[in-house]
Structures are given as C-alpha cells and as structure tokens.
C-alpha cells in the first residue's frame, strides 16, 4: 500500500519555481485541487503544489536522487510501481552508501518524504523527475518499454506549471519523442504551460568518495524558460552545467559512457599484451597514471556490468543505423567487451590444463559476483555469463559472495552462495570481484587463483587473467 501524503497545511505546501501563464484551454486534472498556503494568497498565474519534486523510479539512481533532494530541504514524493521495491526501502534493505542510509533514516522521520505506488500523486509535485532503467535486450537492441511507460504516466498526470525531466540514459531525441510531443498533443505547451528538460543521471553505486552535491548536473531543455525552471530545481542540491538543447544533454551521457567503454576495452587489450610479455599490467597503469595530464587510468577486468557501459553505447549504435552512420571504434570496443567473459573461461581452461587437468569435472569457485566492488548489484555482471559458461564446459561451479544468498543464471540455473569457501575444495579459485570486506584467508599458498581484478598482489599464488 502507498503511504498517505502529509496533510495540506502551511508546512507541506510548495509553489512551483516559476509563475507560468497558463492558457484557459489547457485542461487540468479533475481530481487535483489547487492548494493555497494558509494565510498567503497564491500569485496570479501560479499553481500551488504540495511537494517540490516527485521521483519516478526508486532504483540505484532514483532513491539516492530522492534522498539528495530531501537532504537539501526539498519535499519529495518517491514513486515506484514495484511494491517489493517499496517494501525493501521501508525495511531498510536497499543497497545504499552509508551517507544515504543516514539520509533515509532522516527522511522516514519527516512528513515531507512520501513513498507511493500511486501515479496520481505526481500531479501534486512541482517537478517530476524520471529515473527508470533503460536496458538492452538479448540482441543488444534498446528496450524502451520501461521508459515509455514511465513517460506516458508522467504525461497523463501532468498539470500546468510542472517541470517534467528525464534522467535515464537514452537515444538522442527521446525527450522530444516521449515528453514534448505527447504533452503538446495534450494541449500542454512546453515553455508556456509546462517545462521539459533532460539531465543525465550521474550516480556511481558504491563510490563514497564523491558526494551527490559535488557532481555537476548537465542540463538541456526544450526552451529557455524550461531551462530556467530546471536549473532552479537541480540547483537545490548540485551545480548545473547548461547545454543549448535537449539533444546535447542526451548525447553528453552517451559520450561519457562510450568513453569509458572504449578505454576499458583498450585496458583489457593491454592486459593481454602485458601478460604475453611477462609484465604486470597494473604496474604499467599505475605508472602511466602518475602523469598529471593526458592520461586517465582504466583497469582491465573480467568484463563490465551495471547499467551504463554494457548498455548505453548500444543506444547510440542502434540510432546510427537509421542514418547508415558507421562508428567502427565504438563497435569494436563493445564487441571486445562482450567477449571478455568468454576470455575468462578460456583462461580458466588454460590454467587447469597447465596444472594437468581439464575443465570438465574441475571444481571452480567464483569469488565475488557483483558487477563491481562493494555493491549488491548483479545487473549485467560478467560473472553471470562466466558461471553459465563454466557449467556448460562441465565444471562443478560454486560462487562465494555473501551479498547474495543465491543467483539465477540466464539459462535458469540457480546457485546458492557457498558459505564455507575452504570446504568447497576448489581446483581453481576465480577472483571476479573483491569486496573490501571479503575474507580470503581460506585461500592456501599453493591454491590456483586466477586474478581478474589485477589488484590481488597479496595472494602469492595468483595468476593474472
């Protein structure tokens, strides 16, 4: 069930950031009333709102974003269609940084932080911010179903005076397609009746070294008036960098993550080169990183996971097909990244062969299956493909990652977390993700360990991927 909103009194009422002039022809939702602050006349042309912002989607981006807004003194509605997700948040089970956990506890004590699954609540917020996933399907084609559904809901419940903003990574022109045109068809003109913007999310799960407030937000808008309203809203908790258009903001996010993808592919290639030459690639990367200009350190690994790098560049490649525009460097980088988990399995087979046995029947323990260090997140984790491929190769496979009780692989196989790693009797240990709290004391000095992190120099028996 959704939590009922706080009473509409002087403490909870908010007004929209700009006083738009609305056309009498523009319909308003029949079930929404215009609240007035007690004892204060609402200026002519201003629509009053009970909440400052509504966040649509409370996942790895939406929930921290909602907490950042609330921490900055903003009243917040958090909307998610998943009752399970809402219960996870309410039970304090959401995977959050410690600072965000503190913020969540504070929010639960306030009367201006509401969690709900009721989309009609959106009409009560001065701004509506969409933070939903934009994955790709098994053919690497963008799956826009979640974003289309969220945008349609936002348009359906939009009222004059609102700011409507997308943050989900998507193709160039998406905000125009999913917000600007449908709103116009409803009779809500962006820049006059409502305000439309795009500001790509910049959340790095598990990274406590940079706070939300220290990460600038790129902003593109449909009109100058839209930019002014969105700038004020984003500026409540972050610095804002404006770009001239919605398209420029949408492309900015694609560049950010494509840049990372290309450089990770290059780092992986250098790791193979260095192993052939008998050099530890980590030493090379660390040395190159001492240069104060012209170099940014990227470490190789077993593949890439999360939402951004495995998915986002494919939105650009997909869109370019319509214009017959080639992007060979990006295409090759994404091909190499996709092949990396297979390389991990091939390397496991090589190491076992050098030790005098084959992959079939070998006991392989994969340590750490999250897509990155210190997060309970399996989205696009290369470990899932690695586990599946090892099983297909005939190995007896287990995983050890106490952030997960069990895992379901793409083929439907379910594996349970190995509680006693030492008792598993692994012929080879595959170090996939090393969480900061991981206890590896059970690894013996003569045990075969394949280090896909390139950072486990303390394990004397390790073999680099």
Phi/psi at 386 (5° precision): -60, -50
Catalytic residue selected from 131, 174, 308, 311: 308
DSSP 395-444: -EEEEE-TT-SEEE-TTS-EEEB-S-TGGG--SEEEE----TT---TT--
Task: Assess whether 226 carries a catalytic annotation.
Answer: no
Count Cα atoms within 13 angstroms, Cβ side, for 39.
Answer: 3
What's the count of helices (H) and strands (E) in the chain, helices before strands? 12, 17
Q: Distance (Å, rounded) from C-alpha 307 to C-alpha 275? A: 29
Say if residue 159 is exposed, middle or buried (CB neighbours under 10 Å; 0-12, 13-18, 19+): buried
Q: Please name which of 256, 247, 354, 244 lies closest in space to residue 312, comparing C-alpha atoms.
A: 256
**8 Å CB contact between 433 and 340:** no
Q: Which tokens sit at 225? A: 């008036």
CB 128 within 8 A of CB 162: yes
Rounded Cα–Cα distance for residues 393 and 395 (Å): 6
Q: Count other Cβ atoms within 10 Å, centred on residue 338.
A: 16
Dihedral sign, CA of 124, 19, 161, 233? Answer: negative
Alpha carbon distance 369, 453 (integer Å): 12
100 three-class SS? helix
| Burial class of residue 115, CB neighbours in 10 A (0-12, 13-18, 19+) | buried
Residue 396, number of CB atoms within 10 A of its CB? 16
Decide if 423 contacts 400 (C-beta within 8 A): no
Say how far apart CA 380 and CA 210 lie, in whole Å. Answer: 24
Beta-strand pair 414-416/406-408: antiparallel
Return left, alpha or beta for 374; rule: phi > 0 is left, psi -120 to 50 is alpha, else beta.
left
Question: Catalytic positions, please?
Answer: 308
């Amino acid at each position: 069930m959704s939590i009922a909103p706080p009473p509409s009194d002087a403490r909870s009422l908010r007004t929209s950031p700009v006083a738009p002039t609305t056309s009498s022809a523009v319909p308003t939702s029949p079930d929404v009333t215009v609240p007035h602050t007690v004892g204060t006349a609402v200026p002519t042309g201003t629509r009053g709102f009970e909440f400052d912002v509504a966040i649509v989607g409370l996942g790895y981006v939406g929930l921290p974003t909602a907490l950042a807004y609330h921490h900055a003194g903003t009243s917040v509605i958090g909307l998610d269609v998943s009752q399970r997700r809402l219960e996870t948040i309410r039970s304090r089970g959401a995977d959050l940084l410690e600072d965000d956990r503190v913020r969540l506890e504070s929010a639960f004590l306030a009367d201006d932080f509401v969690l709900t699954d009721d989309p009609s609540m959106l009409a009560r917020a001065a701004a509506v911010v969409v933070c939903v996933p934009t994955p790709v399907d098994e053919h690497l084609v963008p799956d826009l179903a979640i974003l289309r559904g969220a945008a349609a809901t936002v348009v359906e419940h939009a009222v004059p005076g609102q700011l409507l903003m997308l943050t989900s990574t998507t193709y160039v022109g998406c905000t125009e397609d999913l917000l600007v045109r449908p709103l116009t068809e409803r009779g809500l003109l962006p820049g006059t009746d409502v305000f439309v913007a795009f500001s790509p999310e910049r959340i790095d799960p598990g990274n406590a070294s940079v706070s939300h407030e220290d990460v600038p937000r790129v902003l593109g808008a449909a009109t100058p008036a839209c930019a002014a309203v969105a700038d004020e809203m984003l500026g409540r908790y972050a610095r804002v960098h404006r770009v001239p258009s919605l398209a420029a903001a949408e492309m900015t996010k694609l560049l950010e993550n494509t840049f990372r993808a290309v450089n990770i592919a290059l780092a992986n290639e250098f790791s193979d080169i260095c192993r052939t030459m008998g050099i530890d690639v980590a030493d090379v990367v660390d040395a190159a990183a001492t240069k104060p200009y012209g170099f940014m350190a990227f470490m190789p690994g077993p593949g890439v996971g999360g939402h951004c790098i495995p998915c986002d560049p494919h939105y650009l490649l997909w869109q370019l097909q319509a214009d017959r525009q080639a992007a060979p460097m990006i295409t090759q980088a994404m091909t190499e990244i996709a092949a990396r988990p297979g390389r991990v399995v091939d390397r496991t087979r090589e190491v076992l062969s050098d030790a005098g046995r084959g992959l079939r029947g070998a006991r392989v323990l994969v340590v750490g299956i999250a897509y990155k260090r210190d997060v309970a997140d399996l989205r696009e984790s290369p470990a899932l493909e690695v586990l599946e491929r090892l099983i297909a190769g005939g190995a007896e496979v287990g995983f050890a990652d106490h952030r997960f009780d069990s895992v379901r692989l793409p083929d439907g196989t379910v594996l349970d977390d190995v509680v006693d790693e030492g008792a598993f009797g692994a012929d080879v240990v595959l170090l996939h993700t090393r969480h900061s709290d991981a206890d590896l004391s059970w690894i013996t000095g003569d045990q075969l360990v394949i280090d896909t992190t390139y950072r486990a120099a303390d394990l004397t028996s390790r073999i680099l991927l």
